[in-house]
Amino acid sequence: MVIKGILLAGGRGTRLYPMTAAGSKQLLPVYDKPMIYYPLTTLMLAGIRDILVISTPEDTPRFEEVLGDGAQWGISLSYVVQPEPRGIAEALTLGAEFVGEHPVFLMLGDNVVYGNLDRVRAGVQRVVEGDVDACVFGYPVADPSRYGVVEFDASGAAISLEEKPRRPRSKWAVPGLYVYARGVAARAAELTPSTRGELEITELNRGYLERGQLVVVPLGRGFAWFDTGTPEGLLDAANFVHAVESRQGLVIGSPEEAAVRMGTITPAQLDVLAKTLPQGPYRDYLVALAPEEPGAAP
């Protein structure tokens, strides 16, 4: 069964103001690439080829200009406007027609992840195969009170979900990667707006958990997750990308490399595409890329 992808790239970016005074935070650079390149590449490496980008009325044309229709990467990109930020779960109602009767992988446009994606792919596969109706992930953080928090029992099963609790029951935060079986848009539409006036993704996930339909996959050592919605988070992510790229000679978050490694374009198509890009280190990297080289992580 085909699974679709949604990238939520809306919001006002108030925590990053005045950097966001000129436009979307998801178009700000994370070291050497636009922020949106990183979650887009994650979806591509998870096997998603049909992706909906959701953004504001002002920024949607900018994303269309930067990303196009995805054909250059062998994927399909389409766009929907979110007039006002009304919560993460609203992305599922806005994308209902796009998703149709397919499962969906929703990712936040300001999340940067790096590492082996096997556990992410396995979670996606469990939803696609009908083993569970929803899959989210857990990541250990020093200050879980800033995030949605998942609590596990002694056997490793999730038993509670809370949004930004004052007294977290665990150190496990829920990153902005969510996988759902078909029918999730209807469930999201049934949510009651919170006191913030938003459709809360934690409330949606809690409903799946209470029905015994949610699995939480822990992502621990060897996996890096950054929420780049604050100046500190943006700087941390940029420094991490710089350190890895400069030491290993690899590029993180390259849709072109992800496309050739996932087989959505051929090495010959990559060569042609790379040579259309402006002169610079990114173009040079793609031109010299050996697609058969093992161990690379775009």
pLDDT in tens, 9-44: 998 888 999 999 988 999 999 999 999 999 999 999
Structure tokens at 290: 């050996």
Nearest Cα to Cα of residue 60 among 8, 121, 132:
8
Residues 6+ apart with CB under 8 A from 37: 30, 253, 254, 255
Is residue 147 in a domain? no
Nearest Cα to Cα of residue 148 among 138, 158, 159:
138
Q: Residue 126 sits in a domain of what CATH number? A: 3.90.550.10
Q: How many domains does the chain have?
A: 1
Domain with 30, as residue range(s), is: 4-137+173-250
Nearest Cα to Cα of residue 138 among 218, 192, 35:
218
Is residue 261 in a domain? no
For 33, phi then psi, to 5°, come to -145, 155
Is residue 166 in a domain? no
Contact 280, 286 (CB under 8 A): no
Contact 105, 45 (CB under 8 A): no
Is residue 102 in a domain? yes
pLDDT value of residue 292: 53
Q: What does the mean pLDDT of the chain come to?
A: 93
Euclidean distance between CA atoms 272 and 176, whole angstroms? 34
| 236-253 mean pLDDT | 96
| Cα four-point dihedral sign 118, 123, 124, 130 | positive
Residues 6+ apart with CB under 8 A from 89: 188, 191, 198, 199, 200, 201, 203, 204
265-285: b (≥16 Cβ within 10 Å) or e: beeebbeebbeeeeeeebbeb
Nearest Cα to Cα of residue 93 among 207, 169, 8, 153:
8
Is residue 145 in a domain? no
Is residue 268 in a domain? no
Structure pTM? Answer: 0.94
| 61-78 mean pLDDT | 98
pLDDT value of residue 289: 87
Is residue 55 in a domain? yes
Is residue 91 in a domain? yes
Tens digit of pLDDT for each residue in 166-206? 999 999 999 999 999 999 999 999 999 888 888 899 999 99
